[in-house]
Amino acid sequence: MSSTKDGTMIILSSPSGAGKTTLVKLLAKTKKYQISISHTTRKPRENETSGKDYFFTNENEFKNLIKKGEFLEHAKVFNNFYGTILKPIKENLDKGNNVIFDIDWQGAQQIKNKKLKYKLITFFVLPPSKQVLFNRLSNREMKDKVIVEERMKEFNKDILHWKNYDYVVINDKLESCFQEICDLIDSEINKSKNDYNLEFIKDHVNKLIS
Ligand code: 5GP
């Protein structure tokens, strides 16, 4: 049983480029949530620092951590391995800190299946349109058109997992999406009513996949 002192686990997933990482950083800063820093075998991007954005590692080390049972969840995403080490997460939650995860649908599913004693709230972040997603990815991966194409293709598959999340939010304007997530988290933690509109989300998903 979760004790009232325990922190809450908050997962944000999204197709790549929907702006989830910015939202995670904003939530951490404003609400003082602890960000779960993942391990990955992906090479660092120019603006990324090891120990802050990710713990960058190689495949051998990663497989070793799997063997030792250190991961709460791990998955292969875009040909690289990503995973969350359990120990620091548990320590934070036991201290009463809320922990926020920027992980894909496979990781979210694994954490859900683990049925840990801590409260879990899951969000799937969607872009307002495919064109906006394409523009965001093109800006980020300017040097690599192949990556943009690969991630657009992946989008059509990723989006199908929206149903497994507690809430789906549309990241059109960062500020209002952020506020919506904050309100939904508060309503979950305080067990109060919220005005989440599932029908609207279903329509939006249908538009994105049509
Ligand atoms: P990126 O390489 O763009 O930083 O991340 C690619 C994808 O991997 C994103 O969807 C991100 O949420 C996901 N990801 C990052 N860390 C983890 C992790 O620890 N576990 C899982 N399952 N996915 C992760």
Q: Indicate whether 107 belongs to any domain.
A: yes
Q: Indicate whether 44 belongs to any domain.
A: no
pLDDT at 24: 95
Nearest to 100 by CA among 117, 127, 118: 118
Write down the residue that tokens 């305080």 correspond to: 190
Query: Which atom of ligand 1 has the smallest separation from the CA of 53?
Result: 4
Q: What is the pTM of this model?
A: 0.94
Query: Using CA atoms in the order 196, 75, 37, 49, what is the torsion angle rounded to 10 degrees?
Result: -120
Q: Indicate whether 190 belongs to any domain.
A: yes
Nearest CA to ligand 1 atom 1: 16
pLDDT at 142: 61
Distance from Cα 42 to the centre of ligand 1, integer Å: 10
Q: Indicate whether 152 belongs to any domain.
A: yes
Q: Indicate whether 85 belongs to any domain.
A: no
Strands (E), 15-77: 34-35, 39-40, 55-56, 71-77
Nearest CA to ligand 1 atom 10: 104
Number of domains, the chain: 1
Q: Indicate the DSSP class of residue 120.
A: E
CATH number of the domain enclosing 16: 3.40.50.300
pLDDT at 141: 60
HSE-CB for 166 with a 13 A CA cutoff: 17
Low-confidence ranges of the chain (pLDDT < 50): none
Distances (CA, A) of 207 to 16, 98, 130, 159: 18, 34, 9, 11
Could you give the CA distance from residue 70 to residue 194 in angstroms, rounded to a whole number?
37
pLDDT at 195: 86
CB distance 89 to 67 below 8 Å: no
Distance from Cα 169 to the centre of ligand 1, integer Å: 18
Query: Which atom of ligand 1 has the smallest separation from the CA of 105?
Result: 22
Could you give the CA distance from residue 160 to residue 143 in angstroms, rounded to a whole number?
28
